[in-house]
Amino acid sequence: MQAYADELRALFLRMQDEALDLHERARAVQVTETSADGLVSATVGPRGDLVRLDIDPRVYRRPDSRHLADTITETVGRAAARARERVVEIFEPLVPAEQMAAHLDGDVETAMRQLAERMTGER
């Protein structure tokens, strides 16, 4: 039991030391994706929030608003997925990827179960 307590304490101290740096690195994440046709470029932040959207004026040569909307949605979605992956990678030294992904997805039940499994050595 003492070894387990020592391990938890060491993990907590490591997290405390590294967490602020990792948090800052994660907050700085920005990912840019460009559509297949090269006409739409979207940059998102660490939570997938749209930071910048660039639309090439050549889109007006083919005025199809539905296609443009779909292209923007798909491009932003790909950028958001890459940003999420990057945040998971940043925190991986402290938090297992599956646990961090569950946390980012808002799946508290899975995140807590994985944490409990990790703490009890069941995994």
Tens of pLDDT along the chain (123 residues) come to 778 778 778 877 877 778 888 889 999 999 999 999 999 999 999 999 999 999 999 998 988 999 999 999 999 999 999 999 999 999 998 888 888 888 888 887 887 787 777 767 665
Q: What are phi and psi of 38, to 5 degrees?
A: 75, 5
Q: What kind of architecture, by CATH, is found in domain 22-91?
A: 2-Layer Sandwich (3.30)
Do residues 72 and 36 make contact, with C-beta atoms less than 8 angstroms apart?
A: no
pLDDT at 45 (0 to 100):
97
Domain boundaries, the chain: 22-91, 96-123
Tokens 């930071």 sit at which residue? 51
What's the token pair of residue 51?
């930071």
pLDDT at 65 (0 to 100):
93
Edge to edge, the sheet with strand 31-34 lists 31-34, 40-44, 50-55
pLDDT at 122 (0 to 100):
65
pLDDT at 123 (0 to 100):
56
What's the token pair of residue 4?
């387990």
Tally of CB atoms within 10 A around 46: 21
pTM of this structure: 0.78
